[in-house]
C-alpha cells in the first residue's frame, strides 16, 4: 500500500519533502490539484497521480502550463473545493498574472500555491528568489524547514487561506523537496467533499470599474488582518538564549544555522525561526530585536526577510545593528559549511579543527580531477537528432536553444546550442533576431511539452512576421526531463492505454506553416538529408518533427509488453576503423573502449545498449552488425536473420 494513503495517525513513514506536501493536501481534504511539472516540485504531481485509486475525488492534472494550472485551481476554489497548484520557481513567472488577481478577487475554499525553488539552479536556468512575489501579489508565504513542517504547513496554509480570504504560498527549496526522511502522519478527513458549487459574487469576481480598486483595498486589508494575527498563527518560534547576538532565519537555512552554531560552540544565542515570512508582525520582530546588540539574518538567495525586517524596525525606532546580505552571498545555495565560515569570520570564532582541515586538504586532493557533466541517456532519440543536425550544418548556423532534455546539446560532443533562458526562448528570440540579421541561418529547437506550454503563440508570430527559420520539434511523447509526465502528444500510456494526442501537423498547418516533415531520428542518413533540405528552403518557418519516444519510457514499455523480436548490435572489430564517429561524435555511453595487445578497440556493452540502431546507421565502415532474434512465447530463442 502507498504509505501516503495510510490512515494511521502517529505512524512514521519515510517520505520526501514533496510527498509530505502531498500528504498535507490529503489531510486537508484537497479536492483539486493542478501543476505544470518542474524540478524540484515535479514529484508532488506524481504523488497525487499515484493516489488516484485511493482518492478518486481529487481531480489531478498536469496542465499545459502554469498559467492554466493556476486558473484551474482558482476555479475549483471558487466552486468551494480546496485546491492546490504546484510549480517550480520560474513557473511562478507564468502563473503570476493569475495569482495577482487571485489575491484581489479572493478565495472561497482554501487555495494553496506550492512553489519549488532552486537555489544553486542545479536543475533550472535561473535561481530567482520567488519570495519577492509575495510583496507584489500580497500573498502570504510559508517557508517550512523540515519534512514534517512541509506537511503541517500545507494544512495550515489551507486554514489561513480560508480565514484571510487569500491564496497562500508554500515555498519549498530543492533541498527540502528532495529531503527524504521521517514523516509522522496525521489523520485523514472522515468525509470528503466530492462536488463543489459556484455562487455568484460580482463584487469580488468582476474586476471592473470601481471593483478593481475596491478589490485592491480588500487584498490590503486581508494581509493587514493576517499581519496582526501572526502571533496567534504560531508558525514562528524562538529558541531563547541569553546571548547579545540574535539570529533570524527561515526554511532549511534555519537547520543549517543551528548546525553551524553548534559547530562553533555557540549555545546561548537567541534564534527566531520564521515559518511565515510575509507578512511580518511588528511586535514579534521588535520584541525579539529589542535588547539585542546585533541581529544576523540567515536566508538563502536575496535579502527578503532582511528587507522587510529593516523596514519594519525603522518605523519602531529600534536601531539594533542588522547584518544579512552584507555578509552572506545573495546567490547560490547555502549550507552548514558556508554559514559556519561566514559566522566564524564575523564573530571571530575558530572553525572546528577537523572542518578547517577537510576544507583545506580537499581542495588540494581534488585538483585536476575530470568534471562529470550530464549526457543524453543511452538510446535517447535526441542524441541521434543532434548528431544529424551537427553533421548537416557543421555548426555553421545559429542554434536557438530551449528548455528540455535537448538542452544537453550545449555540452560536448554536440555544442550545438547558442542560448537558453526561459520556456520558448528558441523560436521567440530567433524570430525577432531574424528581422535584423542577414545571411545567417537559424535552427530553433523545441520539445513537445515546451511547444504546447507557450510555443504556439511564438510560432504564429514567426509565421505572421515571415521569419525564415528551421524549427525542429523534438517530440519524444513525454515531459521527460521532469520524470515522464504525460505531454499533449503522448499517444499511448506506459501500460498501453490509448491517449488523446494533439495532431501537431494539423495544428501547424492551420497556423500557416507550409513546410512540415517528420523524421525518425534513428534513421541518421534520412535525418541529415531532411535537415539539409529544410535549410535549403530559404523562406518561412520550416518544421521538422523528430518523432521518437523517450528511451527510458520505451525501456519501461518493453519490460511490460515484450516485443516479438529482440535485437543486438555488435561492432565487428575487423571492419572497425576506429574513426570515432560512434564513440566520440555520437557519444553513446553504451559504446565502450577497451585495450588489447594491438591497442584500443570499441565494443557495444550489451547490458547497456537500448538497441536504437543509430550507431549502425551512421557507421561509415559498415562495422556495426544488427542481429534480430525472434522471441517465442515461453523461453526458447531462435535466431531468425542477420543483417
Partner 1 sequence: MIRYDILICGIGGQGAISLGTILKLAAIHEGLTVVGAERRGGAQREGVVTSNVRYLGLEEGEPFDERKMAVSGLIPAAGADMMISMEPLEALRHVRYLNENSTVIINDFPLIPVSVRIGDSSYPDREEIYSRIRQVTRHVHIHNIEEISKSRFNSLKQVNTLSLGIAYAVGNMPLSGESILATVKDQFPDFGKNKAAFSLGIEIGNSAAEGNAAPTP
Binding site for partner 1 (CB under 8 A): 12-14, 122-123, 146-147, 175-176, 178-182, 239, 252, 254-256, 258-263, 267, 335-337, 340, 352, 354-355, 357-359, 361-363, 365-366, 368-378, 405, 408, 411-413, 480-481, 552, 583-584, 587, 589, 593, 607
Q: In the complex, what is the shortest distance from the CB of residue 239 to partner 1, in angstroms, rounded to a whole number? A: 6
Q: In the complex, what is the shortest distance from the CB of residue 547 to partner 1, in angstroms, rounded to a whole number? A: 20
Q: In the complex, what is the shortest distance from the CB of residue 42 to partner 1, in angstroms, rounded to a whole number? A: 12
User: Which residues in 226-338 belong to E strands, given as ranges?
Assistant: 237-239, 245-250, 271-274, 276-278, 294-298, 321-323
CA triplet 358, 360, 362: central angle to 5 degrees?
Answer: 60
Q: In the complex, what is the shortest distance from the CB of residue 135 to partner 1, in angstroms, rounded to a whole number? A: 27
Q: In the complex, what is the shortest distance from the CB of residue 560 to partner 1, in angstroms, rounded to a whole number? A: 16
- Answer yes or no: are the C-beta atoms of 258 and 345 closer than 8 Å: no
Strand 245-250 to 294-298 pairing: parallel
**Cα 273 to Cα 37, 230, 234, 505, distances in angstroms:** 30, 13, 11, 54
- Answer yes or no: are the C-beta atoms of 46 and 213 closer than 8 Å: no
- Residue 116's H or E segment, with its range, is strand 111-117
- Indicate the residue among 147 and 546 with the shorter CB distance to partner 1: 147
- Indicate the residue among 13 and 225 with the shorter CB distance to partner 1: 13
- Indicate the residue among 247 and 304 with the shorter CB distance to partner 1: 247
- Indicate the residue among 43 and 475 with the shorter CB distance to partner 1: 43
Helix residue spans in 479-566 (DSSP H): 504-510, 524-536, 551-560
- Indicate the residue among 126 and 465 with the shorter CB distance to partner 1: 126
- Indicate the residue among 6 and 441 with the shorter CB distance to partner 1: 6
CA triplet 39, 43, 46: central angle to 5 degrees?
Answer: 130
C-alpha neighbours within 13 Å on the C-beta side of residue 115: 31
C-alpha Rg value of the chain to the nearest Å: 28
- Indicate the residue among 413 and 501 with the shorter CB distance to partner 1: 413
CA triplet 160, 163, 166: central angle to 5 degrees?
Answer: 70
Residues 6+ apart with CB under 8 A from 537: 515
- Indicate the residue among 21 and 530 with the shorter CB distance to partner 1: 21
Q: Which residues pair with 600 in a beta bridge?
A: 595
All three cell numbers of 96: 503570476
- Indicate the residue among 499 and 584 with the shorter CB distance to partner 1: 584
Please give the Cα distance from 359 to 517 (Å, whole number): 55
Q: In the complex, what is the shortest distance from the CB of residue 354 to partner 1, in angstroms, rounded to a whole number? A: 4
Q: What is the DSSP string of 401-464?
A: --SSGGGGGGSTTT-------STTHHHHHHHHHTTT--S--EEEEEEHHHIIIIIHHHHHHHHH
Please give the Cα distance from 590 to 99 (Å, whole number): 46
Q: In the complex, what is the shortest distance from the CB of residue 110 to partner 1, in angstroms, rounded to a whole number? A: 28
Q: In the complex, what is the shortest distance from the CB of residue 372 to partner 1, in angstroms, rounded to a whole number? A: 4
- The burial class, CB within 10 Å (0-12 / 13-18 / 19+), for 116 is buried
Q: In the complex, what is the shortest distance from the CB of residue 522 to partner 1, in angstroms, rounded to a whole number? A: 18
- Residue 570's H or E segment, with its range, is strand 565-571
- Indicate the residue among 469 and 480 with the shorter CB distance to partner 1: 480
- Answer yes or no: are the C-beta atoms of 406 and 382 closer than 8 Å: yes
- Indicate the residue among 381 and 587 with the shorter CB distance to partner 1: 587
Q: In the complex, what is the shortest distance from the CB of residue 411 to partner 1, in angstroms, rounded to a whole number? A: 7
- Indicate the residue among 249 and 489 with the shorter CB distance to partner 1: 249
Q: In the complex, what is the shortest distance from the CB of residue 413 to partner 1, in angstroms, rounded to a whole number? A: 5
Q: In the complex, what is the shortest distance from the CB of residue 429 to partner 1, in angstroms, rounded to a whole number? A: 21
Amino acid at each position: 500500500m502507498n504509505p501516503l494513503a495510510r490512515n494511521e495517525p502517529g505512524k512514521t513513514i519515510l517520505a520526501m519533502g514533496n510527498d509530505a506536501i502531498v500528504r498535507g493536501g490529503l489531510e486537508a481534504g484537497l479536492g483539486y490539484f493542478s501543476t505544470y511539472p518542474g524540478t524540484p516540485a515535479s514529484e508532488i504531481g506524481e504523488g497525487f497521480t499515484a493516489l488516484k485509486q485511493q482518492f478518486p475525488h481529487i481531480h489531478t492534472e498536469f496542465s499545459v502550463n502554469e498559467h492554466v494550472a493556476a486558473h484551474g485551481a482558482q476555479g475549483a476554489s471558487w466552486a468551494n473545493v480546496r485546491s492546490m497548484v504546484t510549480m517550480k520557481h520560474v513557473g511562478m513567472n507564468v502563473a503570476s498574472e493569475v495569482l495577482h488577481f487571485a489575491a484581489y478577487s479572493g478565495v472561497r475554499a482554501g487555495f494553496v500555491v506550492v512553489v519549488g525553488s532552486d537555489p544553486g539552479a542545479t536543475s533550472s536556468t535561473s535561481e530567482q528568489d520567488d519570495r519577492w512575489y509575495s510583496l507584489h501579489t500580497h500573498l502570504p508565504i510559508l517557508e517550512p524547514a523540515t519534512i514534517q513542517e512541509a506537511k503541517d504547513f500545507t494544512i495550515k496554509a489551507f486554514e489561513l487561506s480560508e480565514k484571510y480570504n487569500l491564496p497562500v504560498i508554500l515555498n519549498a527549496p530543492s533541498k527540502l523537496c528532495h529531503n527524504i526522511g521521517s514523516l509522522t502522519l496525521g489523520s485523514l478527513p472522515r468525509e470528503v467533499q466530492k462536488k463543489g458549487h459556484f455562487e455568484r459574487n460580482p463584487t469580488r469576481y468582476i474586476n471592473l470599474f470601481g471593483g478593481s480598486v475596491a478589490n485592491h483595498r480588500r487584498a490590503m486589508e486581508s494581509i493587514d488582518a493576517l499581519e496582526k494575527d501572526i502571533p496567534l498563527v504560531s508558525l514562528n518560534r524562538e529558541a531563547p538564549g541569553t546571548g547579545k547576538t540574535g539570529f533570524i532565519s527561515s526554511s532549511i537555512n534555519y537547520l543549517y544555522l543551528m548546525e553551524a552554531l553548534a559547530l562553533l560552540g555557540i549555545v546561548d544565542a537567541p534564534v527566531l525561526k520564521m515559518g511565515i515570512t510575509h507578512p511580518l508582525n511588528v511586535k514579534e520582530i521588535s520584541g525579539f530585536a529589542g535588547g539585542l546588540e546585533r541581529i544576523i539574518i540567515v536566508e538563502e538567495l536575496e535579502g527578503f526577510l532582511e528587507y522587510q525586517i529593516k523596514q519594519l524596525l525603522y518605523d519602531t525606532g529600534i536601531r539594533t545593528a542588522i547584518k544579512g546580505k552584507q555578509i552572506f552571498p545573495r546567490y547560490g545555495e547555502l549550507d552548514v559549511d558556508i554559514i559556519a565560515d561566514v559566522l566564524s569570520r564575523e564573530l571571530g570564532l575558530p572553525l572546528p579543527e577537523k572542518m578547517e582541515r577537510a576544507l583545506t586538504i580537499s581542495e588540494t586532493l581534488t585538483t585536476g580531477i575530470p568534471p562529470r557533466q550530464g549526457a543524453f541517456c543511452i538510446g535517447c532519440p535526441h542524441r541521434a537528432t543532434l548528431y544529424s543536425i551537427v553533421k548537416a550544418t557543421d555548426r555553421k548556423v545559429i542554434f536557438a536553444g530551449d528548455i528540455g532534455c535537448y538542452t544537453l546539446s550545449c555540452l560536448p560532443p554536440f555544442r550545438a546550442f547558442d542560448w537558453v533562458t526561459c520556456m520558448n526562448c528558441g523560436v521567440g528570440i530567433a524570430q525577432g533576431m531574424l528581422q535584423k540579421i542577414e545571411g545567417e541561418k537559424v535552427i530553433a529547437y523545441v520539445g513537445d511539452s515546451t511547444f504546447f506550454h507557450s510555443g504556439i503563440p511564438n510560432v504564429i508570430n514567426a509565421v505572421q512576421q515571415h521569419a525564415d527559420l528551421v524549427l525542429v520539434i523534438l517530440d519524444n511523447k513525454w515531459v521527460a526531463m521532469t520524470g515522464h509526465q504525460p505531454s499533449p502528444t503522448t499517444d499511448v500510456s506506459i501500460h498501453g492505454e490509448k491517449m488523446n494526442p494533439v495532431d501537431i501537423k494539423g495544428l501547424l498547418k492551420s497556423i500557416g506553416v507550409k513546410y512540415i516533415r517528420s523524421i525518425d531520428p534513428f534513421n541518421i542518413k534520412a535525418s541529415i538529408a531532411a535537415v539539409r533540405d529544410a535549410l535549403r528552403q530559404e523562406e518561412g518557418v520550416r518544421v521538422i518533427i523528430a518523432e521518437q519516444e523517450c528511451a527510458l519510457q520505451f525501456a519501461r514499455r518493453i519490460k511490460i509488453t515484450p516485443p516479438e523480436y529482440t535485437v543486438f548490435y555488435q561492432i565487428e572489430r575487423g571492419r572497425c576503423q576506429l574513426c570515432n564517429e560512434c564513440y566520440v561524435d555520437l557519444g553513446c555511453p553504451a559504446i565502450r573502449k577497451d585495450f588489447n595487445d594491438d591497442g584500443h578497440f570499441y565494443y557495444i556493452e550489451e547490458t547497456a545498449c537500448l538497441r536504437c540502431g543509430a550507431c549502425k546507421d551512421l557507421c561509415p565502415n559498415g562495422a556495426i552488425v544488427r542481429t534480430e532474434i525472434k522471441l517465442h512465447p515461453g523461453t526458447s530463442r531462435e535466431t531468425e536473420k542477420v543483417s
